[in-house]
Amino acid sequence: GQLIYGQENKFINTFFLRKWYEKLIKFLVSSPDVVISPSKWLLDFYTKKGFFKNSGKKVLPNSVDQTSNQRTESEKLRFLYVGQVGGYKGIFTLLNVFKDLDYELHIAGDGKDLEKAKEFKKDNIIFHGRLDKKELENIYSNSDILIFSSLTYENCPMAILRAFSFGLPVIGSRIGGVSELIEGNVTGW
């Protein structure tokens, strides 16, 4: 499932069973009339592997409702991380940075590394756990910048699209489809 940046050539990704699996999937999926992908990165990834040779190809990003998302202002910058709490999402790099800063970092999500991440808890690092839709909207509206620190090749992350719907700029990893979503110095970095 996960292709982590810098581990593309590890054994698990080059093992002969993986190659056989890809050939089987290419045979089963073949070339449908049209392939729709939420990111150019993902479409290119599969095209380079020989998928969808005779298919029409279209990129159609995910979308979110942007009808009434309002933000509240604050004097101190409030950063937000939304997603799985796992090493592959860059959470420990993020926590190491924020343990020495005076800015707030709100973490919304759970995962296998949540308890380990909570060891970094300081007054400026606030763990919210898994939130329902209303609570998540509230935390977006009370934040200033979303940090998307994933080390995994992401496609078209909903966390970024939700941030944009609240007018939040995004600091994101420059891997996978993330950089397609962020317009430098306009919607983030």
Q: How far apart are CA 134 and CA 72, in angstroms?
A: 15
Residue 62's nearest CA partner among 147, 160, 144, 145 is: 160
pLDDT (average), residues 3-22: 87
User: What confidence tier does 44 reach under pLDDT thresholds 50, 70, 90?
Assistant: very high
- 58 with 34: CB under 8 angstroms? yes
pLDDT at 66 over 70: no
Residue 111's nearest CA partner among 88, 135, 142, 80 is: 88
pLDDT at 3 over 90: no
Strand 34-37 with 145-148, pairing: unpaired
pLDDT (average), residues 14-24: 88
Q: How far apart are CA 85 and CA 83, in angstroms?
A: 6
- Predicted confidence (pLDDT) per residue in 147-158, tens digit: 999 999 999 999
Tell me what pLDDT residue 30 has. Answer: 80
pLDDT at 120 over 90: no
